[in-house]
Amino acid sequence: MEYISSVKLNEAGDKLVILDQTLLPRETVYIELDAIEDVWEAIKKLRVRGAPAIGIAAAYGLYLGIKNIKTESFEDFYKIFKEKLDYLASSRPTAVNLFWALKRMDERANKEKHKRIDEIKKALLDEAEKIRGEDEEVCYKIGEHGLSLLKRGMGLLTHCNAGAIATARYGTALSPMYLGQERGYDFKVYADETRPLLQGARLTAWELIQAGIDVTLICDNMASIVMSEKKIDAVLVGCDRVAANGDTANKIGTSGVAILAKEYSIPFYVCAPMSTIDLSTKTGDDIVIEQRNADEVTAFWGQSHAPDGIKVYNPAFDVTKAKYITAIITEKGVVYPPYGENLVKLFE
User: Distance between CA atoms of 54 and 52, rounded to whole angstroms?
Assistant: 5
Q: Please state, as a whole number, how many other Cβ atoms lie within 10 Å of the Cβ of residue 228.
A: 12
Residue 179 identity: L
CA R_g for the chain: 20
Verify whether residue 240 is a known catalytic residue: yes
- Furthest-apart CA atoms within the chain: distance in Å: 67
The number of CA neighbours under 13 Å toward the Cβ of 242 is 28
| Cis, bond preceding 93 (omega within 30 deg of 0) | no
Task: Evaluate the omega torsion of the peptide bond into residue 196 and state whether it is cis, within 30 degrees of 0.
Answer: yes
Contact predicate 167/276, CB 8 Å: no
- CB contact at 8 A, 191 and 253: no
Amino acid at 108: R
Angle of CA points 137, 210, 257, to nearest 5°: 75
Q: Across-strand partners of 236? A: 269
Q: What ranges in the chain are assigned the alpha helix state H? A: 36-44, 51-66, 74-89, 96-111, 117-147, 175-182, 199, 205-210, 223-228, 254-263, 295-298, 339-345
User: One of 38, 192, 220, 240 is an active-site residue; which one?
Assistant: 240
CB neighbours of residue 72 within 10 Å? 9
Q: Which long-range contacts (CB under 8 A, 24 or more apart) does 90-93 make?
A: 90/40, 91/40, 91/43, 91/44, 91/58, 92/43, 92/44, 92/54, 92/290, 93/288, 93/290
Residues with catalytic roles: 240
